């Protein structure tokens, strides 16, 4: 298994190898050591490869991931898994702001907590957070699922479109046009599947509440102006 | 004694003029701000307020048609492995599929390709048709990230990170329900028919320090091949340009307030941002202060109509210009041939700006299949190519007359201003004087 020590190897060399840019991919499993908060670790992966990162990463780890399975054995900086298309990213520690921002597919699992704006503008990604999420999470979420086993901060789901949110703990406040919705059988099944895929098997779906869009802001109405 | 008020002609208020009164009534009747397309309609100091001096005793001109005056420009020479080579210094500005019809986007791509220049996507992602018909395609990276994906990022020829737009610096995108067709909705992952208001800030970075890291990510994803542009609205051009350079831009795109929009609030279009003329010199100054003029290229847009405008923008220090509204007019927007239909919509050719309603008689700013079919993309592309070539030839004509063998050799010393305002903004002397208002040392 090729190993990249980022204390002696550049990010460029790592990503070039993961993309198969210099020479075609021969290996499917990669290890990254000493990331030391480096930015743009394992971004733009497009093959079914496995990348294990040992240590904390900086901004945008796994950005625009397609097909790869990336595990961060540490914490992640802002924008982990931003705009990911498919594959999976698992962060064993905590994640900073914008985790999974604009993600269009795949599964992002954060075993610790995620900071503010987790899942901002999400477009189909599934995000499962073992701990809590900060304020403005799922802001303008268009599609996909955000599952939070802990608590959610202020303004959850502000200006939400059709993303579905499941929170087990407390929600400090809901954002504009986000409301609690009934948890029906199909939602229970969806949640159960997401928890299973994320390896959160101890969590009971019946303990979660579901939140979605009230759809009052879909068409402009001056009488809703105080919501903007 | 009875006083008889002598008859006087009715006098309307200069403050509460007809337009102001009409807007008050419109707001009261509808309960919504006025939304429209296009750029500012108010008169602002512009390139018309500048004149070229031409050659004279101290400078000799070049022969038209015999002595070369080159027009090629390369964008993205700072970091990108594959800079963009343009035959002419006029590009097509970003306009989305969604705001524009499929045939209109096709016409822009084909026309730009015929003229040897690039076209640009918009706030709605890249369509296969657009990619296929554009030899050089710039892919916009916008706050909404509608349709954003790494495959399109890699098949683009350049990436334009949009921070702002001249028509609405600080504002987000807007596409009203009438234009959210099935295909547009699918591309943007939105429900059909909603009023879509996209974000004004990027979701995963804030400020130039973050943007530097974002650009690193984009370069890593695309293996450092693509030139990365940063587009800013005409707000604080000196600092915006300097910070764009600091963030790692290959190219800065600077869009003044005459730059168009598919749909924005009229109050935003008319009251936020600076005229294009006021933006160029501060941006060039920033590049010069950093030793980056001509190393980081500057593309100027907002109100470019003619070869004279192109030549003036380049003389003030731009490397290229970008046209949006003019390109739409070239392919048929606001054409008098549709006058009766414009009248039916309560307007007239030349004034039609309800681009957000999707009822464009010319079939350009619409998603209505029947209207869109009115535009023949092949014929329209020829018109666009003609227009682009004509304004390039016009700019060459002026450059030769000033004695320059490349459009980039035009310089501020070739210009004078007709008004004090234009002299101050363009930092060239008022005609007949050596006075540059506001210029340090004078």
Half-sphere exposure of B212 (CA within 13 A, CB side): 8
- Cβ-Cβ contacts under 8 Å between A and B: the total is 100
Structure tokens, A169: 């703990």
Beta-carbon separation of B204 and A123 below 8 A: no
Closest Cβ opposite residue B220 in set A43, A66, A97: A43
Q: Is B205 touching A (CB cutoff 8 A)?
A: yes
Question: How many angstroms away from the CA of A220 is the closest CA of chain B?
Answer: 7
Phi, psi of A89 (to 5 degrees): -130, 130
Q: DSSP secondary-structure letter at B161?
A: E
Of A71, A223, A77, A211, the residue nearest A148 (C-alpha): A211
Closest Cβ opposite residue A43 in set B190, B205, B217: B217
Q: Has residue B435 been placed in a domain?
A: no
Q: pLDDT in tens for each of the 442 residues of chain B?
A: 677 788 889 999 999 999 999 999 999 999 888 999 999 999 999 999 999 999 989 889 999 888 999 999 999 999 999 999 999 999 999 999 989 999 999 999 999 999 999 999 998 899 998 999 999 999 999 999 999 999 999 999 999 999 999 999 988 877 777 778 888 888 888 888 888 778 899 999 999 999 999 999 999 999 999 999 999 999 999 999 999 999 999 999 999 999 999 999 999 999 999 999 999 999 999 999 999 999 999 999 999 999 999 999 999 999 999 999 999 999 999 999 999 999 999 999 999 999 999 999 999 999 999 999 999 999 999 999 999 999 999 999 999 999 999 999 999 999 999 999 999 999 999 999 999 998 764 4
**Structure confidence by residue, pLDDT tens digits, B102-147:** 999 999 999 999 999 999 999 889 999 899 999 999 999 999 999 9
Cβ pair A62, A40 in contact under 8 A: no
The ipTM of this complex is 0.96
**High-pLDDT (> 70) share of chain B, %:** 99
Q: Has residue B20 been placed in a domain?
A: no
Cβ pair A144, A126 in contact under 8 A: yes
Look up the CATH number of the domain holding residue B398: 3.20.20.70
Q: Has residue B322 been placed in a domain?
A: yes
Q: Is B190 touching A (CB cutoff 8 A)?
A: yes
Q: Has residue B283 been placed in a domain?
A: yes
Beta-carbon separation of A64 and B150 below 8 A: yes
Q: Has residue B342 been placed in a domain?
A: no
> Residues of B numbered 27-56 whose beta carbons fall under 8 angstroms of chain A's beta carbons: which are they?
31-32
What are the chain A neighbours of B148 within 8 Å (beta carbons)?
A: 83, 102, 104
Question: How many angstroms away from the CA of A149 is the closest CA of chain B?
Answer: 23
Structure tokens, A176: 């504009």
What are the chain B neighbours of A15 within 8 Å (beta carbons)?
A: 220-221, 223
Question: How many angstroms away from the CA of A202 is the closest CA of chain B?
Answer: 32
Structure tokens, A51: 């990348």
Beta-carbon separation of B220 and A219 below 8 A: no
pLDDT of residue B47: 98
Closest Cβ opposite residue A220 in set B151, B195, B220: B195
Q: Which residues contact A109 (CB under 8 A, 6 or more apart)?
A: A88, A89, A90, A91, A127, A128, A129, A130, A198, A199
Q: Which domain holds residue B314?
A: 44-332+375-426
pLDDT of residue B255: 98
Q: Is B204 touching A (CB cutoff 8 A)?
A: yes
Best B144, B189, B191 residue to mutate vs chain A (most A CBs within 10 Å): B189
Q: Has residue B339 been placed in a domain?
A: no
Best A6, A64, A213 residue to mutate vs chain B (most B CBs within 10 Å): A64
Residue with tokens 């993303």: A163
Beta-carbon separation of A98 and B203 below 8 A: yes
**Structure confidence by residue, pLDDT tens digits, B27-60:** 999 988 899 999 999 999 999 999 999 998 988 9
- Nearest chain B residue to A58, by CA: B213
Closest Cβ opposite residue B223 in set A19, A104, A161: A19
pLDDT of residue B1: 66
The C-alpha atoms of residue B106 and residue B342 are separated, in whole angstroms, by 24
As for how many domains chain B has, the answer is 1
Beta-carbon separation of B145 and A102 below 8 A: yes
Q: Is B217 touching A (CB cutoff 8 A)?
A: yes
Question: How many angstroms away from the CA of A204 is the closest CA of chain B?
Answer: 30
Q: Has residue B70 been placed in a domain?
A: yes
What are the chain B neighbours of A164 within 8 Å (beta carbons)?
A: none
The C-alpha atoms of residue B322 and residue B120 are separated, in whole angstroms, by 10
Q: Which residues contact B270 (CB under 8 A, 6 or more apart)?
A: B40, B41, B42
> Residues of B numbered 391-410 whose beta carbons fall under 8 angstroms of chain A's beta carbons: which are they?
none
pLDDT of residue A66: 97
pLDDT of residue A227: 65
The C-alpha atoms of residue B269 and residue B41 are separated, in whole angstroms, by 9
Cβ pair B35, B174 in contact under 8 A: yes
Closest Cβ opposite residue B189 in set A40, A46, A124: A124
Q: pLDDT in tens for each of the 228 residues of chain A?
A: 899 999 999 999 999 999 998 778 888 999 999 999 999 999 999 999 999 999 999 999 999 999 999 999 999 999 999 999 999 999 999 999 999 999 999 999 999 999 999 999 999 999 999 999 999 999 999 999 999 999 999 999 999 999 999 999 999 999 999 999 999 999 999 999 999 999 998 899 999 999 999 998 887 777 776 666
pLDDT of residue A22: 74
Question: How many angstroms away from the CA of A19 is the closest CA of chain B?
Answer: 9
pLDDT of residue B442: 42
Q: Has residue B251 been placed in a domain?
A: yes
pLDDT of residue B121: 97
What are the chain B neighbours of A218 within 8 Å (beta carbons)?
A: 191, 194-195
Beta-carbon separation of B204 and A12 below 8 A: no
């Amino acid at each position: 298994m090729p190993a990249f020590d980022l204390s002696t190897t550049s990010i460029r060399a790592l990503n070039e190898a993961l993309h198969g840019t210099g020479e075609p991919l021969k290996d499917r499993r990669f290890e990254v050591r000493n990331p030391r908060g480096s930015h743009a670790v394992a971004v733009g992966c497009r093959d079914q490869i496995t990348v294990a990162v040992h240590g904390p990463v900086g901004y945008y780890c796994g950005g625009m991931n397609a097909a790869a399975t990336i595990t961060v054995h540490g914490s992640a900086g802002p924008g982990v898994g931003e705009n990911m298309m498919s594959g999976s990213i698992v962060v064993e520690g905590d994640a900073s702001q914008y985790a999974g921002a604009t993600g269009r597919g795949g599964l992002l699992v954060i075993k610790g907590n995620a900071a503010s704006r987790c899942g901002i503008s999400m477009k189909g990604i599934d995000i499962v957070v073992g701990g809590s999420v900060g304020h403005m999470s799922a802001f303008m979420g268009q599609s996909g699922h955000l599952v939070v086993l802990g608590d959610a901060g202020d303004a959850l789901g502000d200006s939400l479109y059709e993303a579905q949110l499941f929170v087990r703990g407390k929600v400090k406040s809901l954002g504009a046009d986000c409301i609690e919705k009934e948890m029906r059988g199909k939602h229970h099944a969806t949640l159960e599947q997401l928890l299973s895929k994320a390896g959160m098997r101890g969590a009971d779906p019946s303990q979660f509440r579901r939140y979605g869009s009230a759809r009052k802001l879909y068409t402009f109405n001056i009488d809703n102006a105080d919501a903007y | 004694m009875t006083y008889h008020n002598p008859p006087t002609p009715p006098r309307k208020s200069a403050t509460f003029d007809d337009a102001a009164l009409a807007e008050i009534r419109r707001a009261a009747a509808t309960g919504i701000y006025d939304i429209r397309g296009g750029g500012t309609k108010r008169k602002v100091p512009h390139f018309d307020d500048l004149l070229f001096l031409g050659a004279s005793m101290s400078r000799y001109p070049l022969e038209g048609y015999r002595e070369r005056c080159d027009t090629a420009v390369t964008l993205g020479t700072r970091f990108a492995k594959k800079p963009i080579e343009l035959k002419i210094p006029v590009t097509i500005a970003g306009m989305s599929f969604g705001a524009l019809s499929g045939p209109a986007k096709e016409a822009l791509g084909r026309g730009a390709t015929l003229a040897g220049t690039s076209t640009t996507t918009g706030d709605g992602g890249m369509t296969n048709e657009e990619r296929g018909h554009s030899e050089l395609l710039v892919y916009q990276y916008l706050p909404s990230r509608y349709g954003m994906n790494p495959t399109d990022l890699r098949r683009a020829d350049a990436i334009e990170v949009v921070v702002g737009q001249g028509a609405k610096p600080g504002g987000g995108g807007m596409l009203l329900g009438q234009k959210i067709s099935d295909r547009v909705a699918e591309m943007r992952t939105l429900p059909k028919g909603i009023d879509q208001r996209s974000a004004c800030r990027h979701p995963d970075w804030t400020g130039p320090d973050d943007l530097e890291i974002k650009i690193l990510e984009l370069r890593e994803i695309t293996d450092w091949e693509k030139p990365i542009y940063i587009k800013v609205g005409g707000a604080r051009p000196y600092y915006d340009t300097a910070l764009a350079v600091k963030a790692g831009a290959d190219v800065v795109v600077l869009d003044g307030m005459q730059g168009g929009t598919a749909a924005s609030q009229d109050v935003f279009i008319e009251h936020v941002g600076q005229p294009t003329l006021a933006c160029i010199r501060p941006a060039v100054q920033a590049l010069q202060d950093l030793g980056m003029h001509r190393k980081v290229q500057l593309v100027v847009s907002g109100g470019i109509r003619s070869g004279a405008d192109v030549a003036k923008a380049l003389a003030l220090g731009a490397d290229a210009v970008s046209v949006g509204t003019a390109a739409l007019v070239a392919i048929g927007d606001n054409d008098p041939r549709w006058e009766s239909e414009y009248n039916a919509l309560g307007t007239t050719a030349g004034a039609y700006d309800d681009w957000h309603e999707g009822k464009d008689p010319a079939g350009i700013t619409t998603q209505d299949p029947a209207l869109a079919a009115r535009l023949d993309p092949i014929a329209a592309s020829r018109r666009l190519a003609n227009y682009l070539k004509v304004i390039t030839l016009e700019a060459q004509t002026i450059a030769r007359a000033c004695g320059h063998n490349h459009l980039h050799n035009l310089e501020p010393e070739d210009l004078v201003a007709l008004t004090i305002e234009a002299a101050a903004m363009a930092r060239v002397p008022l005609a007949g004087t050596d006075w540059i208002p506001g210029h340090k040392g004078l």
